[in-house]
Every structure is written in structure tokens, then in C-alpha cells.
Structure 1
Amino acid sequence: MVLQSLKSRIFNDASKYATKWLHELPHVIWGLRTQKSWATSYTPFFMVYGSEVVLPSDVVFGAPRIQYYEDGEAEKSRRVDIDSLKEHRVVALIQHARHEQQIWRYHDRNVRERSFNVGDLVLRRIQSTKDMHKLAAP
């Protein structure tokens, strides 16, 4: 009985918020595109467009780069960014390779290889198949 009430409460909460994710999705995607990657130290937006994004909060609160904006200087800066984009991508590629090497070193240091032979005893968790159909994941 307790399990049934818990299931119904979870289902009701999920249905209450079911349509809100669609409203929040653009904000989440924007956040992912404007956050620096650990692997490259650049934002995905910069890697695609060659310049840093102007955040809506910068516009609303009047960040210095918005307050001191000049068309001529912005155009010069944009040309410099476009000219140096290839260099930034090479730096990002090197940084990504370095990050990947660190991950491999961590893996090699902390993960131990095991091999099993026929006849070895292995602990296996037995799961109930009640209320599962033949295509359900075990």
C-alpha cells in the first residue's frame, strides 16, 4: 500500500512539471553553450563563432564591454578574432589532448584489470523479473 501511494505521488509530481521542461530547455542549452569546457578551456560558442557571447545579463546590468562599445573598435576586434580563430582552435586541440592524457593516466592508475577463467566463482545479483516484459532491461 505504501509503495502504491509513493508511485502515485511521484507520478502526480512528474505530471505537474511535465510541460515546464520545454520552457526551461532554451536556458539550459544557452548555459551549456556559454560555459567553458574543462577539456578545451573555451566555450562551444567561441569555437563555432570565433568570439565570446554577450550574455543577456551583461546587457541588462550594463557590463563594461557593453557600456564602452564602439562600432569601429568592435569591427577591428572582430577581424582580429576571426584571424586568430585557427590559432585558438589549435590551442583548444592541444588542451583537449592534454586533458585526455590526464584521464587516461587517472584510469590506468585507479582501474585494475581482472580476468576471469572458467570455473571461477562470481557473485551474481539475482533480480526479480516480476512485472517485467521480455524486452525490459534486466
Structure 2
Amino acid sequence: MNRVAEAANKNIKGILRKITNNYKGWHEQLPYSLLGYHTTARTSVGATPYLLVYGTEAVIPAEVERPSLRIIQEAELDNVEWVRAQYEQLALIDEKRMVASCHGQLLRQRMARAFNKLVRTRLFQICQLVLKRIFPHQDEYKGKFAPNRKGPYVVRKVLSGGAVVLVKMDGQEWLKSINSDAIKLYHA
């Protein structure tokens, strides 16, 4: 939930950045940016946050000045019909949330397919010589002018899912398996 709040804060800060000058008077523009954030449809769910919470779209200030068809229709209803219409809207909230959830799942599947198109499968065989990448968070990392790879190592075992077990040239085996993305063939 914390990541969701951070993402929302980042988006609201972006809106404030666009409508203020150097963050001067941001507190006066905050209600407008919040209204814009809550009434803009999200690509991930295909709906506005306001719709998912309250079951109906928000009435924006422009609709009060110049009523839309939706506002005119609601204004012409008597109290009993209006209450019935609101009750029907509340009954549809779960359906709208379900549609938004399905929309999010479809978006995740599309993104995964697009990512998987770019992934190259690397097949290694036992006894091949490879170089291992040195990551910045590892102890062997010496700075930006140091070599990026270390080795050569010998592939001892190929595991499922693209992982391999490496052995140093002197026969000492690595304790952890390594993802095949972090190694490449060594050409002597």
C-alpha cells in the first residue's frame, strides 16, 4: 500500500509542478490538482479513482456552470426516482471494480508479452568458459574504470529457469547459482 501512496504523491507533485511557478502558492493549487488526479482515468484500471470508490463519475465545476446531459437528467428526476437511480449506481460499484480489475490484469499480460519479446534466451552447456558480470553492490566492484566482468569460469551445472552453477578455473565451486543474464561466453 505504501508504494501506491508514493506513486499517487509523485503524480500529484507532477500536476502541481505543471500548474505552479517554482512551487510558489502550491497550497492554493492543491485542491485543483487533487480534483484533476481523482477525475482522470488511469490506464492500468481503465477508470477514475472516484468512479471506483463512489460508483459514479465526479461532478466537476465546469458541469455546474454548464450542465452536461448527465446533470440535466438527474436534475429532472424527482426524489424517489433519484434515490432509486443512486441505489442502482451503488449496486453497480462491484461490477465496475471487477471490470477495472480485469482491465488491470489484461494490461499486465500485455506488458509481460511485450517484455518477453525482448528477452533473449541464453543456452549454456556444461564445460563452457564464461565471464561473470561484476555488479556495483558486490565487494569486487572497484569503481567506474574497473573491469565490468570477471573470469573465466567453467559452467558446472545448468539449472532450469536460466540459472547456472559456476566453478573457478582451480576447481572451487560457487556457493550460489547465477542467472544466465549475468554471464556471457568467454572467447579465448
Same fold (TM over 0.5): yes
Shift in CA distance, 116/86, structure 1 to aligned 2, threshold 3 Å: farther
The answer as to 2:59 corresponding to 1:51 is no
- Give TM-score, length-normalised by structure 1: 0.64
| CA–CA distance in structure 2, aligned partners of residues 76 and 102 of structure 1 | 39
1:65 aligned residue: 70
Alpha-carbon offset, residue 41 of structure 1? 1.4
| CA–CA distance in structure 1, aligned partners of residues 31 and 120 of structure 2 | 41
2:41 aligned residue: 36
- Give TM-score, length-normalised by structure 2: 0.49
In terms of fraction of residues, the more strand-rich structure is: 2
1:101 aligned residue: 109
Query: Could you say what secondary structure the match of 1:35 adopts?
Result: coil
Query: Could you say what secondary structure the match of 1:39 adopts?
Result: coil
Q: State the structure with more CA Rg.
A: 2
Alpha-carbon offset, residue 20 of structure 1? 1.8
Shift in CA distance, 18/41, structure 1 to aligned 2, threshold 3 Å: closer
Query: Could you say what secondary structure the match of 2:94 adopts?
Result: helix
Task: Provide the aligned C-alpha RMSD in A.
Answer: 2.8
Alpha-carbon offset, residue 116 of structure 1? 6.1
Gaps in structure 1 of 5+ consecutive residues: 1-15, 126-138
Determine what percentage of the aligned residue pairs are the same residue: 24
| CA–CA distance in structure 1, aligned partners of residues 132 and 50 of structure 2 | 50
The answer as to 2:92 corresponding to 1:87 is no
In terms of fraction of residues, the more helix-rich structure is: 1
Shift in CA distance, 113/26, structure 1 to aligned 2, threshold 3 Å: farther
Gaps in structure 2 of 5+ consecutive residues: 1-20, 123-129, 135-142, 146-188
Query: Could you say what secondary structure the match of 2:104 adopts?
Result: helix
